[in-house]
Amino acid sequence: MGGMTEHLPAIIVAVPLLAALIVTVVWWFNDRLCFPLSVAAGLVVCGASANLFQKVLTQGVIEYRLGGWPPPVGIVFRVDHLNGLILVVVTLVAFLNLVASRRSAEKEFRDKVGAFYALFLLFITGLFGILITGDAFNLFVLLEIASLTGYALIGIGSGRASLSGLNYLLMGTIGASLYLFGVGILYVLTGSLNMVDIAGILPNLWPSSAIVLAFLLCMGGLFVKMALFPLHAWLPNAYTHAPSVVSSLVAPLTTKVMIYAMMRVALTVFTFDFAFNQIAVRGPILWLAILAIVGGSLMALSQRRLKKMLAYIVVAEVGYMVGGFWLGNKAGMSGAVLHIINDAVMTLCVFLAAAAITIRTGDDRLSSLRGMFKRMPLTMAVMVLGGLSLIGVPPTCGFFSKWYLISGGIEAGHLGFVMALIISSLVNVVLFFRCFEIGYFEPFMRGGEPHSAPVEPGYGAPTVQEAPVEMLFALLTTALLLLLLGLFSGQIVTRVIHQALPAVLG
């Protein structure tokens, strides 16, 4: 096995890629094999990422040379504390989602099950690749692998899904092309595409308007991809109209991985000194983040569909992480990184609960939550936990990252950001307690009329009709993760995240 562990970074990308191919072929012969094959690939990747993270913790940064070519010429995969941690959580979230998707995929895709699993695996291939690559151009290619499969997954859905998918595609392509343009300018300036190599050459060229342009193009492109506030228009519709298993895959992962990419490009390619001291973009980006938080929260209030409400919460959460990062101090950045992993789990939690409810009711309108606590007690219990975490109630993990973000804001003296976080938490209270109120107190409805008296014996009172077993398993594991991440957040921050931050922050 000694030989195998050396190749762990390659395994993480190669296994889902090959599994996607195998699933596509096997699908022609027996579509029942698609699910177990995908789960097997998911398990391998989870194991590999945990192993890799363990290695990073003991040995420090791991650099894997693809094909054995040394860095400036060849492509490298580079795993440090930052992406090692995020990789573990992302593989776990993807795996749980895969397990949960079984019934829902059979129901929603029927004869396209194989295509769904193949796209699923390709999508996570792209995300894992983005997380571990150390090459600026390679990042673009993997970005597009993840995005293209994302467009297709969203477009599979019925009704308005294809229109939302196409809008997402047009916006996403603008984002990716801007990033590619930025990388092109960096290549003209430095003659290199390796992130660490570029970072070594760039400081000799300061000050240069071309570097500033490259920085703005790269950041602008990634802002489109992560749906930062004025560029968020594609997200709510895409996540609402997508099949519910797809929303619970795409929503927790895409935006978080893109925020990681922003951190990686800002810190590793352009370096902390350039991004925070040489150019004055920190202030404007912070205000964009504040607008995202307040705007996303307020628009979530006006939604009458559960998934759309959650999608707007995702828009607000993007603001949390972008804002925390651009505070530029230790607490803010720690909070941003911690929030990436916490938010991935929280978003998975609430979107999975929404998917479970959609399976049973066939609808995700808030009004269809009536009587849901009696009908799906476990699912709703998990949703309450996810809601509390998004609000930021201890001991769920959401509290701790919000704590770091707020203390970072206070430390930086940025009152606007602190206020935005508090407003958004209060709005989340309203949002989720409205759901809980409908679910708990409003009477169960059948056919649009509340039943004051049972029409037939046992007809008026809803019977317990829980989510499918696989989904329940994923939901309960996610709930457990929410608590575990909360309990261990101190250790995660001191032992992992502080190692990942730039040395200047101390």
Q: Which helix (H) or strand (E) segment is 59 a member of?
A: helix 34-59
Helices 469-487, 377-391: inter-axial angle, 10-degree rounding: 30
Instruction: Give the Cα separation of 202 and 385 in Å (integer).
Output: 46
Shortest distance, position 22 Cβ to another protein, whole Å: 21
Q: Please check whether residue 409 is in contact with residue 327, taking contact to mean a CB–CB distance below 8 angstroms.
A: yes
List, as one string, the DSSP characters of 174-223: HHHHHHHHHHHHHHHHHS--BHHHHHHHGGGG-S-HHHHHHHHHHHHHHH
Shortest distance, position 230 Cβ to another protein, whole Å: 13
Cβ closest to another protein, residue 161 vs residue 500: 161
Other beta carbons less than 10 A from residue 442's beta carbon: 14
Cβ closest to another protein, residue 30 vs residue 302: 302
Shortest distance, position 296 Cβ to another protein, whole Å: 11
DSSP bridge partners of 194: 135
196, exposed or middle or buried, with CB in 10 Å at 0-12, 13-18, 19+?
middle
Cβ closest to another protein, residue 93 vs residue 217: 217
Shortest distance, position 500 Cβ to another protein, whole Å: 29
Cβ closest to another protein, residue 33 vs residue 212: 212
Cβ closest to another protein, residue 318 vs residue 472: 318
Q: 106-113 — which CB contacts under 8 Å span 24+ positions?
A: 107/359, 108/157, 108/243, 108/244, 108/245, 109/156, 109/243, 111/31, 112/156, 113/27, 113/31, 113/34, 113/35
List, as one string, the DSSP characters of 71-115: TTTS-EEEE-HHHHHHHHHHHHHHHHHHHHHHHHHHHHHGGGHHH
3, exposed or middle or buried, with CB in 10 Å at 0-12, 13-18, 19+?
exposed
Shortest distance, position 336 Cβ to another protein, whole Å: 26
Cβ closest to another protein, residue 116 vs residue 140: 140
Shortest distance, position 164 Cβ to another protein, whole Å: 9
Eight-state DSSP code of residue 450: E
User: Residue numbers of the site for another protein (CB under 8 A)?
Assistant: 137, 140-141, 144, 148, 151-152, 155, 159-160, 162-163, 165-166, 169-170, 173-174, 176-177, 180-181, 184, 187-188, 193, 233, 236-237, 299, 302-305, 308
Cβ closest to another protein, residue 166 vs residue 212: 166
Shortest distance, position 319 Cβ to another protein, whole Å: 17
DSSP bridge partners of 445: 450
Cβ closest to another protein, residue 188 vs residue 480: 188
What the block records as the tokens of 242 is 């997508």
DSSP-derived pairing of the beta strands 76-79 and 445-446: unpaired
Q: Which amino acid is at 347?
A: T
Shortest distance, position 188 Cβ to another protein, whole Å: 5
Cβ closest to another protein, residue 100 vs residue 180: 180
Shortest distance, position 203 Cβ to another protein, whole Å: 22
